[in-house]
């Protein structure tokens, strides 16, 4: 009843704001595709039509939400999204006659601990934090995964003492229980076991982000930053002042493409990872990587200390010592940046990136996420009842499309420059947030800076940004897009020029 009330209120507000609500049938079709990945069936359409005729259309929409959230298709679709976030391939039975979203028995398909953790969080509507905090695992035994070498049984048996051959259990510290079933194994660890942390301590994750002598688990740390804190790990320029800006750039990109790797190695006596120009990423990666310092062949016999360290735009410096992967996972779930990041994932999945949201709206969503106990189904039910989801499909005009494309290109710039926003003397400028702040003259100045740095009046050959040694390069296509964007007056997401064209 409360959801119905709020959905009616939001429809009223949308109309008052000029955002056109879509027809109920349009919303229901979108709901079905967004939650289940398939259109409404004939029967469902008939139900909806009858409900609308009886004046019960909104109630039917709410019924659809609750019904769709319980389907296998919903669970599968959300799992695919999580798999893509973690960047693992979703396992699915390729034989459509045996395809069964619930049961993968006897088909050679391997469901491991990672898969079960994610599936259980979704289907049982557990807190989203369980992706990091789960301490009970299930996995299928003896099946050989396609194309991969991970094997859950041996991974957990190394530290748990479980025999791989006969299933007998030896008691070991912190191991609660082990049940042997023909099809599925179950391993439970104590909640206080600091070695265990949801999907992070599953063979799937470990093998996806392999530890080597060179990367020292920084690859795993980088993945954790990207997935759970939305940190893309682009080289971040530290806060600075105008006088030392150029030297800071030289520090971050010292050779600017003019030296070979061998020359750089000879020039620096210290090993990689301690130089100032490397520290912009390593100060974050190294302390986190330490907690992952164990082989992917088996669970760590004991937890390793490390730290969660990074610069938060909202909280300032974060530097918290942790013990073991679980300590790290718990600390991450306590950060507001984590909440913001997960909320952004859900927003992008269900409402869409093409629907920009304000900071105020983001804070509302974060509050709602906590209010529903971080449970995915409850939060998704809220999102698909929101005015943004229920609005008419946007057919963008040329300037609106241009603005979105320019914004996505400028995000690469912002990933490096974001830390400069910490220093108000320099600028408080999110290159991707349109319209830019300030009056017309100030905005004109900002656009002119972009034009000069990127050589948007020329062919791009004289551009100074991004630096030559930057990982990201501005392509010719991107250069043309930004050029056109400026020529149109640097339109914002509504298509309105920010400056004179």
Partner 1 sequence: MIKFILIVSVVCASMSAHASFEERSRRYLSGHELLMTIQSLLPAYQSYENTECHSLVELNRNFLGDSQALTGEPISVGPNQNFVQWLNQCVSKSLEHMGLLDIVDGFMFNEKTDNLIGPEGIAYLQSKKNNPTSSVLAIPGVFVDRLVVEDPLFIEKLVEHQVKFFLGSDETIRDFGLIQDPKAYRAELVKNILSKKDLNFKQAIIRLTVQMMLRDEFLSY
Q: Quick check: helix, strand or coil at residue 310?
A: strand
**Tokens at 382, concatenated:** 């809220």
String of contacts with partner 1 for each residue 441-480, x by CB under 8 A = ------------------------------------xx--
Beta-bridge partner residues of 322:
306
Structure tokens at 286: 């190294």
Q: Which is nearer to partner 1, 345 or 427 (CB)?
A: 345
| Residue closer to partner 1, measured from CB, 160 or 296 | 296
Contact 195, 130 (CB under 8 A): no
Q: 3-state class of 497 per DSSP?
A: strand
Q: Which is nearer to partner 1, 18 or 96 (CB)?
A: 96
In Å, what is the CA distance from 82 to each residue of 206, 227, 326? Answer: 16, 9, 20
The two tokens of residue 47 are 């139900």
| Cα 199 from Cα 136, distance rounded (Å) | 11
92 sits near partner 1 (criterion: CB under 8 A)? yes
d(CA 238, CA 235): 9
DSSP-derived secondary structure letter, 259: S
Least distance from partner 1 to the Cβ atom of residue 180, Å: 32
For helices 218-229 and 276-291, what crossing angle results, to 10°? 90
Task: Tell me, residue by residue from 265 to 304, as one string, x for binding to partner 1 by CB under 8 A and - for no binding.
Answer: ----------------------------------------
Interaction between residue 94 and partner 1 (CB under 8 A): yes
Residue 465 CB neighbour total at 10 angstroms:
16
Identify which of 31, 33, 8 has the alpha carbon closest to the alpha carbon of residue 21: 8
Measured from the CB of residue 128, what is the shortest distance to partner 1 in angstroms? 17
For 54, residues 6+ apart whose C-beta sits below 8 A from its C-beta are: none
Q: Interacting stretch for partner 1, rule CB under 8 A, among 55-63, 88-96, 133-141, 241-249?
A: 88-96
Q: Does 89 bind partner 1 (CB under 8 A)?
A: yes
Q: Which stretch binds partner 1 (CB under 8 A): 87-95, 117-125, 151-159, 163-171?
A: 87-95
Phi, psi of 190 (to 5 degrees): -65, 145
- Taking CB under 8 A as the criterion, the residue among 88, 343, 431, 490 binding partner 1 is 88
Q: By C-beta, is 230 or 251 nearer to partner 1? A: 230
Which of 87, 246, 265, 272 is close enough to bind partner 1 by CB under 8 A?
Answer: 87
Could you tell me the smallest distance in angstroms from the CB atom of residue 189 to partner 1? Answer: 28
Binding range to partner 1, per CB under 8 A, among 72-80, 167-175, 241-249, 280-288: 72-80
318 binds partner 1 (CB under 8 A): no
SS3 169: coil
The DSSP output letter for 88 is -
- In DSSP terms, 140 is beta-bridged to 184
Q: Which of residues 380-439 bind partner 1 (CB under 8 A)?
A: 392-396, 400-401, 404-405, 408-409, 411-412
- Give 103's Cβ-side CA count (13 Å radius): 5
CB nearer partner 1, residue 366 or residue 396: 396
| Span from 92-100, 131-139, 216-224, 379-387 in contact with partner 1 (CB under 8 A) | 92-100
Please identify, using beta-carbon distances, which residue of 37 and 301 lies nearer to partner 1: 37
Q: Considering beta carbons, is residue 183 or 392 the nearer one to partner 1?
A: 392
Judged by CB under 8 A, does residue 96 bind partner 1?
Answer: yes
Closest CB 86 distance from partner 1, rounded Å? 9
Closer to partner 1 by CB, 94 or 500: give it.
Answer: 94
Interface with partner 1, residue 67, by CB under 8 A: no
Contacts of 234 (CB under 8 A, 6+ apart): 412, 415, 416, 471, 472
The correct pick among 5, 17, 84, 244 for binding partner 1 (CB under 8 A) is 84
Distance CA 221, CA 218 (A): 5
Site string for partner 1, 2-31 (x = CB under 8 A): --------------------xx-xx--xx-
Q: Give the integer Cα–Cα distance in Å for 283 and 273.
A: 9
Residue 354 found at the interface with partner 1 (CB under 8 A): yes
Note whether 42 binds partner 1 by CB under 8 A.
Answer: yes
Integer Cα distance of 325 and 305 in angstroms: 8
Spatial distance between the Cα atoms of 232 and 230, rounded to a whole number of angstroms: 6
Q: Tokens 């025999």 label which residue?
A: 163
- Give contact residues for partner 1 (rule: CB under 8 A): 22-23, 25-26, 29-30, 33-34, 37-39, 42, 73, 76-77, 80-81, 84-85, 87-90, 92, 94-97, 348-349, 352-354, 392-396, 400-401, 404-405, 408-409, 411-412, 477-478, 481
């Amino acid at each position: 009843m409360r959801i119905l009330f709020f959905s009616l209120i939001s429809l009223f507000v949308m109309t008052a704001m000029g955002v056109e609500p879509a027809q109920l049938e349009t919303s229901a079709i979108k709901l079905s595709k967004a939650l289940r990945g398939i259109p409404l069936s004939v029967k469902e359409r008939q139900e909806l039509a009858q409900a609308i005729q009886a004046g019960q259309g909104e109630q039917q929409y709410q019924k659809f939400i609750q019904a769709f959230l319980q389907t296998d298709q919903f669970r599968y679709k959300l799992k695919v999204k999580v798999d893509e976030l973690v960047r693992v391939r979703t396992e699915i039975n390729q034989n459509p006659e045996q395809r069964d979203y619930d049961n993968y028995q006897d088909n050679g398909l391997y469901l491991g601990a990672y898969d079960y953790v994610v599936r259980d969080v979704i289907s049982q509507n557990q807190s989203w934090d369980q992706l990091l905090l789960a301490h009970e695992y299930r996995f299928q035994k003896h099946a050989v995964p396609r194309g991969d070498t991970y094997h859950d049984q041996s991974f957990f048996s190394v530290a748990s003492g479980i025999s791989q051959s006969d299933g007998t259990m030896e008691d070991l510290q912190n191991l609660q229980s082990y049940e042997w079933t023909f099809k599925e194994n179950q391993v439970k660890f104590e909640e206080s076991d600091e070695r265990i942390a949801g999907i992070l301590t599953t063979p799937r994750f470990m093998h996806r982000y392999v530890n080597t002598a060179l990367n020292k688990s920084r690859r795993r740390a980088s993945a954790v930053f990207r997935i759970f804190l939305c940190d893309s790990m682009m080289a971040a320029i530290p806060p600075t002042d105008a006088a030392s800006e150029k030297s800071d750039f030289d520090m971050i990109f010292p050779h600017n493409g003019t030296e070979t790797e061998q020359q750089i190695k000879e020039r620096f006596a210290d090993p990689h990872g301690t130089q100032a120009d490397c520290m912009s990423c390593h100060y974050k990666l190294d302390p986190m990587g330490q907690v992952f310092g164990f082989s992917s062949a088996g669970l760590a016999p004991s937890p390793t200390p490390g730290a969660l360290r990074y610069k938060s735009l909202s909280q300032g410096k974060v530097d918290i010592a942790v013990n073991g992967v679980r300590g790290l996972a718990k600390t991450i779930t306590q950060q507001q940046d984590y909440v913001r990041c997960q909320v952004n994932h859900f927003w992008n999945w269900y409402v869409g990136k093409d629907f920009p949201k304000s900071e105020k709206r983001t804070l509302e969503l974060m509050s709602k996420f906590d209010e529903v106990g971080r449970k995915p189904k409850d939060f998704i039910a809220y999102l698909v009842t929101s005015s943004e989801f229920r609005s008419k499909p946007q057919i963008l005009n040329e300037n609106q499309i241009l603005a979105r494309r320019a914004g996505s290109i400028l995000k690469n710039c912002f990933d490096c420059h974001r830390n400069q926003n910490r220093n108000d003397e320099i600028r408080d400028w999110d290159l991707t947030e349109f319209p830019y702040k300030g009056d017309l003259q100030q905005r004109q100045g900002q656009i002119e800076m972009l034009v000069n740095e990127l050589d948007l009046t020329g062919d791009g050959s004289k551009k100074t940004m991004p630096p030559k040694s930057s990982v990201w390069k501005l392509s010719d296509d991107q250069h043309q897009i930004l050029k056109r964007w400026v020529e149109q007056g640097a339109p914002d997401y509504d298509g309105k020029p920010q400056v004179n064209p």
